Structure 1
Amino acid sequence: MFELDPVLAADTLHVGDLPLCRVLLMNDSQYPWLILVPRRSQAVELTDLDDADYQQYCRESRHVASVMMALYKGQKMNIAALGNVVSQLHIHHVVRFHDDAAWPAPVWGKLPPVRYAKETSQHQLAQLQRVIFEETL
């Protein structure tokens, strides 16, 4: 049975569920930052997914990256699965800009997070839900 890691739950806002992945918004307003979590118990690495799930993850990742770049007009998309703090398989999708707070360094650990204000988070969630879920994968 799938359960979201408590650290991920505490650091993110729930956007919705794609066929395979739970989509989470990182609660850091400095960057457009989504996390895809395949809803498979015990998955730690992408290699833990079977072939069908891996192919579905790739479709979902590509879709999320594409709609995020279009929505935020980013200059670079960073996609990474680190897992050094949270072992549950989760893949970060971060839109980057040449003038963002961490550029050109990675976003991890560079600056403390700046949480979304409630109204801003609601707007972000609604916008993301519209663009991510408006077309079926």
Structure 2
Amino acid sequence: MEGAIQRTEDELKEANKRAQELSTSINQLKGDERQQTINELAEKDAEVYAGFSKASTLRRELQRFNSRIESKAGNINALNPRGLSRHAGVKQLERGNPEHTQLLSAFEEAKERKQEEIEKEVAEIVQKIEDLIE
């Protein structure tokens, strides 16, 4: 009888030990799940922050470029083909002057080609900016 009691006590100790191990494992899993949830939420919050940070950084950089762009856009002299004017020996080419027709025509053709290149290049830059802020 004492042997049966001892076996029962040993089995009870083993069951308690196993219960403790299971409890520890469950707590570990709960901790792991909690950490995983925290990590997932942190990643989502970091994505929101990244959108804000990209936009803020881009705005700052674009503001820096704005003054440089304005100085180029405000260059009224760029509308007058100075090299061709000098070639013709005048300050400014005149549209009504038949001697200037060939020069103005060459300028218009070159200007149109450049404008097409510019529009393509600017469209690519704008697309990259669009992709960046999305």
Q: TM-score, normalised by structure 2?
A: 0.24
The structure whose residues are more often helix, as a share, is: 2
Larger Rg: 2
Q: TM-score, normalised by structure 1?
A: 0.24
- Higher RCO structure (Cα 8 Å, ≥6 apart): 1
The structure whose residues are more often strand, as a share, is: 1
